[in-house]
A and B are shown apart, each in its own frame.
Chain A
Amino acid sequence: MGSKADKKRHSSMRQPINLVNFSFLEHRATLSDQLLTKSRHQHSLVENESDFWQFVNKYESMLRQLGQPVLPTLLSESEYLQPVPYHKSKHLALQLDEQALRHDTRADNEELQAQFQQLVLIYLDFKQKEKFNRIKKLRQAQRALPIARFKDDLRSALQATRVLIVAGDTGCGKSTQVPQYLYEFGYRSIACTQPRRLACVSLSKRVAHELLDDYGNKVGFQIRFERNRTQNTHILFITEGLLLRQLAVAPNLEQYDVLILDEIHERNLFGDFLLGVTKCLLRAKPELKLILMSATINVELFHGYFKDEGAQLLQVPGRLFPIKLRYMPPPALELKAGQATAGSSKRSQSARLDPAPFIQVLSLIDQQYPITERGDVLIFVSGVNEIDSICEAIREYAKEQTQWLVLPLHSGLALAEQDKVFDYAPDGMRKCIVSTNIAETSLTVDGVRFVIDSGKVKEMSYDASCKGQRLKEFWVSKSSAEQRKGRAGRTGPGVCFRLFTQQQFDAFEPYPMPEIYRVPLDTMLLQMVSMGLPDVRAFPFIEPPETERIEQTILSLKQHCALSVDEKITPLGSSLANLPVELPIGKMLLMGCVFPEVEQLLTLAAMLSVQNPLTTRAHTDQRCERERQPLESEQGDLFTLLRAYREWLQLKMARENTRKWCHRLGIEEQRFYEVCKLRQQFQRILESCRMAPPSDAGALNRTERARRHGELRQLKALKRRQRLEQPRQRKLLKRQHGAADTQQEEDDDAPDTEDMRDVDFRLRHDGRQLALLARSAQLERHRDVLLLKLLLVSGFYPQLAIADEFNYCKGGGQQFFHTQLKPFLSLHPNAHFAKSYELLKLSDSELHAKPDYYTPKQPLSERHQVLCYQSLLETAKPYLMNCIRLPAAQTLLLFGYAIDTNWGISRIVCDGWLALDFPQPGSGLLLLSRAIELRQRWSSRLYDKLNELNSNEKATSCAPPKAAGHDHGDTLWSDLLDFMALDVVYGIKRLLPADQKTLYNRCPPPARLMLLPANPFVQDYPLSVNSEKGGLNISEHVVYGCLAELPWTLAMETALQTQLWRCAQCDFQLEQFDVPDQLLHRLQCKAQSDGKRRQRRQSSPDPKAIVAASSSSSSSRSNGCDYHCESCGRHLKLSQIDILRHRRTCVKHKELPTKAI
């Protein structure tokens, strides 16, 4: 140190630097070296060198301007500690650590070097002040929040009680501050739930920032596809759904000492569920503290609900400026609405919103408020279509009144688009944000001075009577209208224009309807049972749903085999509760786990679980329609989407720009990313509960690995850069020049902003994995399509619909369909089947001649179809959504809950609403017995697997339980395919309630059947008399002989009296064609031929086909007929049996989809 101090003293004698003829900038190249430290890595003393040089420049010119261009000579170390003489450097608390610095020994000008170091210090000191002030400012802002004054109240309340309700309007700071206060009070394991994923992420970022822990992990979040949490995380923002899942795994949530439920006033399903669960949890976990946070909406409800727990209420006033209220109902609203409906013929245009009243308010604002007074506009409408039409109108208006900037806002927008609403409007301009109710409570935009409220909201409601959903526009509730109004007074006094009358407002409901009344309850109830709740009816709902709906839901859970008869959870049920999807999709996944190609199933399930990837533009823009044309599948929209998804993956593999491609086709790319993530999640869950074998995409080879390595490095650098970027700052908005720009902008944005979703995606998937994904979306083979359809139905049954009998003579607009619960539904106009409705009709060539005894009027065919729909949605009309088509009889027999037959099995009724007539002798028996057998095999396979898993859950089994699936697994699936392809002629009819009365004979079986020694259909199932309907229970789902005979079935029986019946297995013959006798023989025959059967199944064509053949060949009419094979295109003259044979070989060789599927 001593020698350095000497050096300094020397330097004071050197020539001083005068900035008039000198600048450090001229020596930038040599001086830059001095900014580096001595250490191996050569770090820089300053964070940002260019920033430093800018500072130098400013500092120099400042000194020149002040007339102090001569840099004062530097002080010695000892002088420095004395107050005199004065030197500016005495205000610097920092000094350079000489040891760490590099000294340029060659330096010819020591003064220069020393002064430069001084300059560095000044810069560093300046930076220190900057950073310090940043922290200080942050703290000031926090202290200014309304909640800050209640911090001590919060502390004392928490000492006094376990349940605290914090009621405060948005903007009071409760969501960001309360978790921090708790941390400060010493709680170290704080969970805070949020209804929305996005809120979890942004809140965790914000709170981490305020805790000065932006880059640490004190604060984390956990949402469906992403987690950012370590052992050091003390505050966790988590979605409601995910916390519920944690509860299901660890019922007492040992990991948390405080639970904050935020936004409980929203009253969504999970929130309500959590309230009940936490009420129970408080009893089980005496140390847990619970904080409920809500807007000041219906606070008394929550307070009362936790009264017994001694809940305290903390009311935090929001910051609100006075708001002027103006009711401005549009004149002659009814008249206009009437005209609109009368004049428009095309879809959805009828309900189009009239933008005129909104424009009138804008022009009123233009007239009454000078543009020099700042203030933006927030418009509330009910939905995306409404937003679009209003935006369009305002853009038109803004061509003359150029001060308006239009910004749409709804949850479907990309994040970057949403962020724009936070940007500033340039001087002399106003933002006009057109929003759904997203901006009502969940999203806060500052600077709004005017609110225009349409008073409308679109809400989903649930119709339990038809198990369908309804999307309808309603008037908002009073509390929502007040929330909307409040948005005008956050930054200053404001005005709220209500486009309805005071009288209308007075008639509004006080609060919005809680979600629990508006959605199906099955997933929630199942989760309750799987959490160990003995009786869901006793659950302490804050506001319970109707008892009847609970009962209905329990019944349907039983039908899905998720609950047992005594309402205990079944193995299937507990596996279902583990899957974070709608019940049918979960069931489909589990049913399909015994399916050899799980990969495809996973993709399908993921595709079904995301929102429809097609945007509204996809159907309105002709170009999009044209681009998608080649991908259209005759199998329905789901399969079209899968093709598009596959194409997308292939583009990814070719490293092409998929964002543009998606835009061209009208696809919301985000959905496809979600499909990939969901698929992976399903895979993991199924793997982890060992329902599926681990997926193996194959290892990369050497060159692939090398290439991948490089790619990964590049991607990670991008990712890191993005992550470390400063959080997005509010920007100044650009002026808009008419409607066309928005489109333009979207394309322009693309190149300069790196597509982070693409980067993420590529990071996660190497080439092999991509190829596997693409393979799993490949569904061109007929058998794959058919199998997946079967799996779909296995999940979605009983969601079937049948075409109206008069559809054949009507056009596209009048095609109606019926479900069991609701008649006269339409296909959604955007659906492929709505456009190509002929696919659902029987063509003339598919109709069969009727035997004489068959008198009913319905057509006979082998090609009847049913639709399986994913959901039922009522908007303008009730629509069936996402349909697939399937062979009717086979599907019904495989999945029906209650299958009833007559004695001759010429008539079968499924679930009491669809009647199948089999006028060809033996065909009913054939189809039914095969269906029973397949069903039995399938479910026993599934249950074996589930039981096996449940029993050795704890035992460490090293071998994956795969063996069972393989030995006869493959024949199950090929047998199922054979079954679906069986050509049986039948008629199908929808039964009406009136038919039910005479449906059953309610008679005990005839004596000779009572003599049956065993069950001829299912070996181990004990026969019993069905006392309600009559007949015999022959399997879990089938009652034999309970249907009353009809004139035609009796006539058929008489006709058959004259015919012989020969057993296909042996030489046994019956004089008369009599089904009960056939069954009797079946038992004897089975006993001797059981051994042979299996062998034969593999080598020769199916024995059942022979039964069909022998029975039909014994009937006079079908010895040979004209047959046109669709797969090979030949016309053949074949007997029934040969047609079957031909079809099988032909299908096997070609694997082409035939129209019938």
Chain B
Amino acid sequence: MTDDSLGNSFNVAAAADDDDDLNLDNEAAEIRRLQLPTSTEPLAQDDDERVANIEFKCSSCDMHEMVHFYGRAPPFALGVKFREDSYVLRDPFQAPPPRWQSKPEFYVSLGAKCAICGQVVCKDTSCSFYYTKTHCLPCARAELKTWPVEAQSRLRKQLAAKK
């Protein structure tokens, strides 16, 4: 928590925001809700970008998720980019940064398209192999011979583990 920055007076408003965040006053809201019909206007624009709306579906296994980003440099990833276009999810296991801080957060890449055949595959060792780029396992097997022995043995190990 980088709450130290809260010390200055500018952050009084921010603290109030935090208040909201913590749902401190939810009883009042609840009663209001019980009394009035809900207004259906979207709460805020910035919540939209937090909705994952890019479909990711592995062609090898049945992994099926919605992700936030497809490409090399997710705007929310910090100091890191991918070497190829990837399906990237905001890290679901990390708390999002407080609302008033535009802090980058962490991420998970779920997969990419096979560099040879273009099929979408996930990162699972039974679906893809990464060597300079993502290969689906059938393509990797075909490509195998053009690789140095170290890469070959690593793939073989992985294929063996699959069985």
Contact = CB atoms under 8 A, between A and B. Distances in A.
Given A227-B26, A764-B24, A720 B132 contact: no
Interface in B140-155: 146-151, 154
Given A86-B150, A93-B82, A227-B30, 8 more contacts: A47-B106, A83-B147, A93-B130, A128-B109, A216-B50, A231-B41, A684-B31, A720-B22
Contacts of A226: 23, 26
B117 to A, nearest CB: 17
Interface in A226-276: 226-228, 230-232, 245-246, 249-250, 254-255
A713 interface: yes
A1142 interface: no
30 contacts: A43-B103, A43-B104, A80-B132, A82-B132, A85-B148, A91-B130, A93-B83, A93-B86, A93-B112, A94-B109, A95-B80, A134-B93, A135-B65, A214-B92, A214-B93, A215-B94, A215-B95, A216-B50, A226-B26, A227-B27, A227-B29, A228-B23, A232-B43, A249-B34, A680-B27, A713-B3, A713-B6, A716-B22, A724-B95, A763-B22
A724 B94 CA distance: 8
B54 to A, nearest CB: 14
Given A684-B28, A717-B3, A83 B110 contact: no
B35 A688 contact: yes
Nearest to A760: B24
Given A45-B79, A717-B1, A93 B84 contact: yes
A450 B118 CA distance: 54
B131 A91 contact: yes
Interface in B71-95: 73, 78-84, 86, 89, 91-95
Nearest to A82: B132
Nearest to B143: A83
A806 interface: no
A818 to B, nearest CB: 42
A733 to B, nearest CB: 26
Nearest to B48: A232
A916 B129 CA distance: 95
B123 to A, nearest CB: 5
10 shortest interchain CB distances as A-B pairs: A86-B148, A212-B92, A100-B79, A86-B150, A227-B26, A131-B108, A724-B95, A227-B30, A132-B123, A37-B79
A136 B124 contact: yes
A1049 B28 CA distance: 60
Which of A47, A132, A246 counts the most chain B CB atoms within 10 A? A132
B151 A86 contact: yes
A681 B79 CA distance: 48
Interface string B118-137: 00001110000011101000
A716 B24 CA distance: 10
Contact of B78 (A45, A228, A688): A45
Contacts of B29: 227
Contacts of B106: 47
A230 B30 CA distance: 11
B81 A212 contact: no
Contact of B83 (A83, A94, A134): A94
Interface residues of A, number: 67
Interface of A: 37, 41, 43, 45, 47, 80-86, 90-97, 100-101, 124, 128-129, 131-132, 134-136, 139, 212-216, 222, 225-228, 230-232, 245-246, 249-250, 254-255, 677, 680-681, 684-685, 688, 712-713, 716-717, 719-721, 723-724, 763-764
A255 B134 CA distance: 45
Interface in B1-38: 1-3, 6, 15, 18-19, 22-24, 26-35, 37-38
A807 to B, nearest CB: 46
A136 B63 contact: yes
Nearest to B2: A41
Contact of B89 (A83, A90, A212): A212
A1127 B124 CA distance: 85
B110 A135 contact: yes
B96 interface: yes
A103 to B, nearest CB: 12
Interface of B: 1-3, 6, 15, 18-19, 22-24, 26-35, 37-38, 40-43, 47, 50-52, 63, 65, 73, 78-84, 86, 89, 91-96, 101, 103-104, 106, 108-110, 112, 122-124, 130-132, 134, 146-151, 154
A124 B80 contact: yes
A1045 to B, nearest CB: 56
Given A91-B130, A255-B38, A720-B1, A677 B81 contact: no
B143 to A, nearest CB: 8
Nearest to B43: A231
Nearest to A214: B92
Given A214-B92, A713-B6, A37 B34 contact: no
A1051 to B, nearest CB: 62
A720 B95 CA distance: 10
A132 B109 contact: yes
Given A227-B23, A763-B24, A97 B148 contact: no
Nearest to B32: A688
Given A132-B124, A212-B92, A763-B24, A95 B81 contact: yes
B34 to A, nearest CB: 5
A326 B57 CA distance: 51
Contacts of A250: 37
A90 B131 contact: yes
Contacts of B2: 41
Nearest to B131: A90
A202 B149 CA distance: 51
A684 B50 CA distance: 34
Nearest to A90: B132
A93 B35 contact: no
B80 A45 contact: yes
B57 to A, nearest CB: 13
Given A83-B147, A85-B148, A228-B26, A94 B96 contact: no
A128 B108 contact: yes
Contacts of B150: 86
A162 B150 CA distance: 59
A83 B82 contact: no
Contact of B34 (A84, A90, A96, A245): A245
A41 B101 contact: yes
A84 B24 CA distance: 59
Contacts of A80: 132
B105 to A, nearest CB: 9
A86 B154 CA distance: 11
A716 B15 contact: yes
Contacts of B147: 83-84, 86
B69 to A, nearest CB: 14
Contact of B79 (A93, A96, A231, A245): A96
Nearest to A712: B15
Nearest to A216: B50
A304 to B, nearest CB: 34
Contact of B151 (A90, A94, A222): A90
Nearest to A222: B30
B133 to A, nearest CB: 8
A248 B80 CA distance: 53
A97 B123 contact: no
Nearest to A84: B148
A721 B1 contact: yes
Contacts of A132: 108-110, 122-124
A100 B81 CA distance: 10
Nearest to B110: A132
Contact of A91 (B6, B33, B154): B154
Nearest to B38: A255
Contacts of A713: 3, 6, 15
Contact of A230 (B43, B95, B122, B154): B43
B153 to A, nearest CB: 10
A39 B104 CA distance: 10
Which of B81, B83, B92, B148 counts the most chain A CB atoms within 10 A? B92
Contacts of B96: 215
